[in-house]
Chains A and B, each alone.
Chain A
Amino acid sequence: MSRAPDDDFDRFVADCEPRLRRALVAAYGPEMGREAALVALSWAWQHWDRVLPMENSVGYLFRVGQTSARRALRRRQRDSATLDDGVAGDGRSAFDPDLGPALAGLSMQQRTAVVLVHGYGIPLREVAETMEVSVATVREHTARALVRLRNTMEVSDVR
């Protein structure tokens, strides 16, 4: 285990942090997602020798963050039986009274993909890299998410 040189790590965080944080926040909500991103980046700092040779360090750290978030989710569910969904329970429904619950009804991958692609406007290829899936899979998740959102929210499809 070795920690990162300061300059190297600063550059790494500047490059990776926005994508990683936004992906985990999209998946798990602002509170839990940001905490997961912080855990993942802390792990990267303390295990720099493992991160450095990785071809897709953001993708790996996304999964590290997922592990952290899922564990937190399980803890939260155990502590409070009423919170059965980390997203809905994260207060995001207050953002948009219809969109928040509708997003919470999507699968984690669909939710992440649609928020990153259509919310943040991140290119498909970058989203695919972060989620460690193919571009076609991101497109598929996004398309399914939009269909479900439209159906749930009864938003008309204006082309």
Chain B
Amino acid sequence: MSDELESRLSAYADQLDASAPPISTEEIRARELDDRGAHPHGTRRRVLAAASVMLIVASGASATAWMLRGETDTLQTPVGSSQSVAPATDPSVSPTTIEPGPSIGTDNAPAPTTTPTSAPPDTSEPPAPELTIDDVRAAQIAALRQLNGFTATATQSGLVGDDISVEFTMLPDRSIWVDTGDGTWGSHDSSTGFTRGAFVGPDGQMAYQEIVGQSGDSSLPLSILVGYDPTQIVQPLYSDAEQTGTVTETEHEGRPAWEVIVTSEFPEFAFDEEGNSTVQIGTTTQVERKIIDQETGLVVVSEMSSSDPSWGSESQMSSITDISATDVLPSEFPGTFPDGATVDRSGDPNGFSPATADVDDVVATLGIPVPIPPDASAGSISIAVYPEFTDQDGGTSTPYAESITATFTTYEGFVAHRVTISARRLLDGGVDEFSAVVDGLLCADFDRDALCDSPEYGPPTDGQPDSIVVSSGALADATAVPDIPGTISLGVGPLGIIIDASDQATAESIANAFVLVQPT
């Protein structure tokens, strides 16, 4: 930075100190909290008290519905304001209890032994900090961890034509069944990786499609038929974007909820004939509004609106109502195609990776001892192998290397944690002077010592701020660097490992529990 600016900032800080002298303990004790110390959210305690109820499955001969049981009779309210019947194939679902998500801004820590002083009695509410997006994110994750499946009605508006409503059922592994009610449907079966759909084609006739090997990914039926993912976790604000975020307590269908509004601004530029940006012609403003049900953590309203100098304003909103809990999919799942129907199976098979690999497959594919994340099991592991070419002709030459990525997914309720292990194998030809080959796998070697110690896949091994040294398991002593909250990456020899968990503590817990598996 400039010397001049730094010296002026330093002088400015000195002046601040002189204008705001230290606060003594006597001054603190003399201060009696008055109305200024009142709770910033006038009704927040009441609302949260109403939210402190248990969800209990009320089982019947043919119905399973979520009911709220509060501490008083007045809290007997159905989830989503409707006692809807879940289309379960197994009506004898045993009663299940879901603890509600934590109450933000309250402190459940045990009270330590303290000695009261002679200070005057204080009956005021604490000036609890205002809610932040990180607060909501943490509480939403806690709630989603306890949710084992649900049915709901999704409605999309702001599209061309009328609003669209569908019923759907979703389980934590992202298996989903969507019924539009007019003969069309969509499904994703995470146990097989099959995504299927029956829909009305451009010619007005029924059309059928099947995509195989889509691991743990319901995005297709979700985006097309539901409009959004109601289990999406609110994201922290990007530090490199012009974003602002607000959080308020609200109610949705009579249930406590948080409303999160994130406003982002992007500069819009005019371009000359050569495609170079010239002058800024305005700003695109994008407003994303989400309402999150406090009890379940589900995003019950997702609205996106934007305005820009070129296209004007547009808005689209999706919401879910009539939420009821179930942990089984309806009997129609995963859907069958009529006899003789033409099924489009042209989905690019390279675009998806099979979800049916197991740990031995991963180790065999990489050909070296591999640190494997905890709780890895068949059905949650996918392996993708792509060729790499030395030129940019799209693959007319012989690939000189192949990229290997193994993805491990585990679930806690609707909260997913993913670990990816990546490597590149040399297939043909030599390597450049800044690469090394170790156990047949390529890695960066900028210091040319024939070791995989350069930060191609992971961070430098030391000297990084915020670095975490893994303390146990197969990754013990490896250095990990946090990225966005819940994501850390590290390099182990020729392997690049990225742990993408819901939160930092979980990511570190996973990092400390890897197990080394040898090739057979």
Contacts and interface: CB of A to CB of B under 8 A. Distances in A.
Interface of A: 1-6, 9-10, 13, 17-18, 21-22, 25-26, 30-31, 33-34, 37-43, 45-50, 52-54, 60, 63-64, 66-68, 70-72, 92, 95-96, 99-100, 103, 114-115, 118-121, 124-125, 132, 134-137, 140-141, 146, 149-150, 153, 155-158
B122 A115 contact: no
B109 A48 contact: no
Given A5-B114, A30-B19, A71-B36, A119 B119 contact: no
Given A2-B116, A21-B23, A25-B19, 5 more contacts: A21-B22, A48-B112, A67-B128, A92-B15, A155-B2
Interface string B10-25: 1111011101111111
B52 to A, nearest CB: 18
A41 B20 contact: no
A18 B115 CA distance: 25
B23 A34 contact: yes
Interface residues of B, number: 55
B-side binding surface: helix, strand, loop or mixed? loop
B465 interface: yes
Given A5-B117, A45-B119, A99-B9, A158 B109 contact: no
A122 B465 CA distance: 16
Contacts of A26: 13, 16
A63 B240 CA distance: 22
Contacts of A49: 109, 111-112, 114
Interface stretch (B27-35, B43-51, B226-234, B372-380): B27-35
A115 B31 contact: no
Contacts of B109: 49-50, 53-54
A157 B2 contact: yes
Interface in B127-163: 127-130, 132, 134
27 contacts: A5-B117, A6-B25, A17-B22, A21-B20, A21-B23, A30-B20, A31-B19, A41-B23, A42-B32, A43-B126, A45-B29, A46-B122, A47-B126, A52-B112, A54-B109, A64-B126, A64-B128, A67-B127, A67-B128, A72-B36, A100-B12, A119-B16, A134-B466, A134-B482, A140-B239, A153-B5, A156-B2
Nearest to B107: A50
B40 interface: yes
Contacts of A31: 19-20
